[in-house]
A = this chain, B = another copy of it.
Amino acid sequence: MGTAHRKVRERRARKQGIQVAAVRVFAEKGFSRATMEDIARQAEVSVGTIYLYYRSKEDLYVSLLFESMQRMSEAIEKIMASGLRPDRQLRRVWDYFYDYHARYPQSYRVLVFLQQPGLISGLAPKTLQEINVRAARNFSLVSRIVAAAIDKGLYRPHEPREVVDLLWSLFLGLVHLSETRKNLGVTIATLKDLHRKAFAWLEEGLRV
């Protein structure tokens, strides 16, 4: 009876291993330049094996997004359960964005990937659906924090959803800017600095 369980566990572990390897390789080379062979080598698995778990390279790539969205959901839920004041919670979320990118800089790139035109068309509708659900969930969680802050009179009345859109956009843009600058060899402001200042400024627009 434990056999089936073990099988499932092993399968999950194997998948996990491939994902970890994929994240590393995609991060280093980007989607196009990364090869399935690279990933297989990194995961110490044969190429064929990857195809036992993922339908295609794209599928593998997008699956990384699921994973990171999941991680983010969990992190936000943990923050929400902390009992902190809502504005402090938002601050935590914002900081989490940074930590998240610092720890998994690759994951950010998966997001950028989704913005690539023509690519989505190659994804299974089910995958697309899945992404939407998870993204909506994350947005919704943060919205609740903002709503709570407004309720408690900590923030001026705003459409919480819009605030979250701005919050997330700002973060995405900051990462993009700092990554581009790093790539170009320019070192005028680190993401850390930008990130901190951005929030201070952001709050000026929120607080009563």
Contact residues of A with B, CB < 8 Å? 27-33, 109, 111-112, 114-120, 128, 131-132, 135-136, 161-162, 165-166, 168-174, 176-177, 179-180, 183-186, 188-189, 194, 197-198, 201-202, 204-205
Contact = CB atoms under 8 A, between A and B. Distances in A.
A33 B115 contact: no
Contact of A114 (B114, B119, B183, B189): B183
Given A173-B172, A176-B112, A119 B189 contact: no
Q: Is the interface of A mostly helix, strand, loop or mixed?
A: helix
Given A136-B186, A176-B176, 5 more contacts: A28-B118, A30-B117, A114-B184, A117-B183, A202-B205
Contacts of A131: 184
Contacts of A136: 186
B177 A168 contact: yes
A91 to B, nearest CB: 16
B29 A117 contact: yes
A194 B165 contact: yes
Q: Which of A32, A136, A168 has the largest count of B CB atoms less than 10 A from its CB? A: A32
Contacts of A32: 31-32
